[in-house]
């Protein structure tokens, strides 16, 4: 696997001898799209795509389901194309994905991937998007990642979305995705006409900042948009309420009523789940959480909310309830309903409670969904330990790239656990490679799914 944490300047890493002295390779994502990245694990995109085979935002699964063949998409802040490239495949040759990326390196890598994948729908614009057709400066971010508009830096041209939209003939947009590193307000200021006259699904970054989410939602409300959030476990968009924007909410979505109605008809959105469902036993709720797709959208949401209101009080007054099934059930309900911060607090309580005793047998529901159907056998203590630590390491962190250095010691110790999963082994190897403890990812089950084809010469 040709990965090097710090490629020497002016020379070619040994692992790249077969890539014609290039420091670029392609990572195949879960949907088959190939994204070009640098051979440098200090780059966030390189690290995350190899770690997970996808982008870490939950909406990465949603957006291709929203758009279809022939649609027009605007992607502001497209970076390496982790959204734009899969969407270009989705809309096909009859559609268009206009990808705005002012960073020279990520834009060039995106162009390379589009050419290799023959994605004719990708329309790459190497400009920053603001409220003016002018020039500005781009500052910060390794290789252009996470760079932002500033008063100094690398000069870049700027364009208004209204200007580009008019040049394209004022098409109806299916999707407007905005990730402008804090400049979303300026992007919307330059898109007044577009927002007034079209009805796209708008996705914008808030990075867990509730005040920012409120301010941007109010701006969009002036054009008839209402805010929504995505519940990935239930695969549903639901209306945003003030108490449901926690520190793990990276993005919000905004829709006009007509667009929301269309998505509701397609089973992707629920406006009102109606009255809470009846009180249910833990086994019935566990079945709902294990296979939510078997239940109609409104019903699954109503039942989950009712179950949370019923079971959460059991954990109050000192939290004497057992970890399994009570804590695990409420934890899974909180995660499914998008209340990740509350789930995180509960997980801390689980860590403290588990020392009071293990369950007598394997529970019907784990904290980590992937463990639901993994038999504990004769090693229930190891199963429970992995259940808790997997959620701490993966369930509440977007990527091990953002975790402190001590995480490697935990992963090394966990490796002896018989339930140690391949995703954690991949994280362990990535952290070791970054630290210079091994030259590259080792061949094996944890890396077998990664395809890194050589570049054409």
| 37 touches 3 (CB < 8 A) | no
| 420 touches 385 (CB < 8 A) | no
Q: Whole-angstrom Cα distance, residue 204 to residue 184?
A: 7
| 133 touches 147 (CB < 8 A) | no
Q: Whole-angstrom Cα distance, residue 50 to residue 439?
A: 15
pLDDT one-digit tens code per residue, 104-115: 999 999 999 999
Q: Report the chain's mean pLDDT, rounded to a whole number.
A: 86
User: What is the number of structural domains in the chain?
Assistant: 2
Buried b (16+ CB within 10 A) or exposed e, 84-109: bbbbbbbbeeebbbbbbbbbebbbbb
Domain boundary among 356, 375, 397: 397
Same domain assignment for residues 160 and 251: yes
pLDDT one-digit tens code per residue, 341-376: 999 999 988 888 887 778 888 888 999 999 999 999
Lowest mean pLDDT among 236-240, 313-317, 345-349: 313-317
Same domain assignment for residues 370 and 244: no
Same domain assignment for residues 168 and 315: no
Range from 147-161, 313-327, 416-430 that averages highest in pLDDT:
416-430
| Inside any domain, residue 47 | no
| 59 touches 251 (CB < 8 A) | yes
| Inside any domain, residue 227 | yes
| 430 touches 439 (CB < 8 A) | no
CATH number for the domain spanning 223: value is 3.40.50.150
Band (pLDDT 50/70/90 cuts) for residue 176 is very high
Q: Which domain holds residue 369?
A: 282-397
Domain boundary among 210, 235, 265: 265
Same domain assignment for residues 138 and 197: yes
Residue 107's closest CA among 73, 141, 151? Answer: 141
Band (pLDDT 50/70/90 cuts) for residue 172 is very high
Same domain assignment for residues 194 and 323: no
Please measure the distance between the N-terminal and C-terminal CA atoms of the chain and give it in whole angstroms: 19
Same domain assignment for residues 223 and 289: no
Q: How confident is the model at residue 457, as a pLDDT?
A: 21
Same domain assignment for residues 117 and 252: yes
| Inside any domain, residue 131 | yes
Q: Whole-angstrom Cα distance, residue 351 to residue 344?
A: 11
Range from 7-21, 222-236, 269-283 that averages highest in pLDDT:
222-236
| Inside any domain, residue 271 | no
Same domain assignment for residues 252 and 318: no
Q: What is the mean pLDDT of residues 134-154?
A: 78
pLDDT top residue among 398 and 444: 398
| Inside any domain, residue 286 | yes
């Amino acid at each position: 696997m040709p990965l090097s944490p710090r490629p020497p300047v002016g020379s070619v890493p040994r692992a790249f001898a077969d890539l014609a002295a290039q420091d670029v390779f392609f990572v195949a994502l879960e949907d088959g799209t190939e994204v070009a990245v640098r051979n440098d694990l200090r780059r966030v995109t390189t690290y995350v795509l190899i770690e997970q085979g996808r982008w870490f935002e939950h909406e990465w699964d949603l957006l291709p389901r929203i758009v279809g063949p022939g649609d027009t998409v605007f992607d502001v802040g497209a970076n390496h194309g982790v959204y734009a490239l899969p969407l270009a495949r989705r809309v096909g040759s009859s559609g268009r994905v206009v990808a705005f990326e002012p960073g020279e390196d990520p834009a060039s890598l995106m162009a390379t991937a589009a050419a290799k994948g023959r994605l004719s729908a990708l329309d790459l614009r190497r400009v920053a998007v603001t409220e003016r057709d002018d020039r500005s400066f781009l500052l910060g971010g390794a290789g252009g990642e996470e760079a932002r508009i500033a008063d100094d830096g690398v000069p870049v041209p700027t364009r208004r979305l209204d200007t580009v939209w008019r040049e394209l003939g004022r098409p109806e947009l299916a999707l407007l995705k905005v990730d402008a590193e804090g400049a979303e307000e300026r992007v919307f200021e330059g898109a007044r006409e577009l927002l007034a006259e079209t009805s796209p699904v708008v996705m914008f970054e808030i990075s867990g900042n509730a005040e920012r989410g409120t301010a941007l939602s109010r701006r969009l409300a002036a054009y008839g948009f209402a805010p929504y959030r995505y519940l990935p476990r239930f695969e549903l968009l639901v209306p945003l309420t003030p108490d449901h924007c926690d520190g793990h909410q990276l993005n919000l979505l905004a829709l006009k009523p007509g667009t929301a109605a269309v998505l509701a008809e397609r089973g992707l959105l629920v406006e009102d789940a109606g009255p809470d469902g009846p009180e249910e036993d833990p086994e019935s709720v566990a079945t709902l959480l294990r296979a939510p797709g078997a239940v109609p959208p409104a019903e699954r949401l109503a039942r989950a909310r009712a179950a949370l209101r019923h079971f959460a009080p059991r954990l109050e007054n000192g939290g004497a309830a057992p970890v399994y099934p009570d804590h695990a059930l409420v934890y899974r309900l909180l995660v499914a309903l998008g209340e990740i911060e509350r789930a995180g607090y509960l997980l801390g309580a689980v860590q403290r409670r588990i020392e009071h005793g293990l369950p007598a047998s394997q529970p019907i529901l784990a904290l980590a969904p992937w463990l639901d159907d993994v038999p504990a056998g004769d090693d229930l203590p190891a199963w429970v330990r992995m259940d808790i630590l997997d959620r701490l390491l993966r369930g509440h962190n977007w990527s091990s790239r953002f975790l402190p250095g001590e995480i490697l010691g935990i992963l090394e110790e966990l490796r002896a656990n018989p339930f140690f999963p391949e995703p954690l082994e991949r994280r362990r190897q990535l952290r070791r490679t970054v630290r210079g403890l091994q030259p590259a990812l080792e061949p094996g089950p944890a890396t077998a799914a990664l395809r890194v084809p050589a570049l054409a010469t």
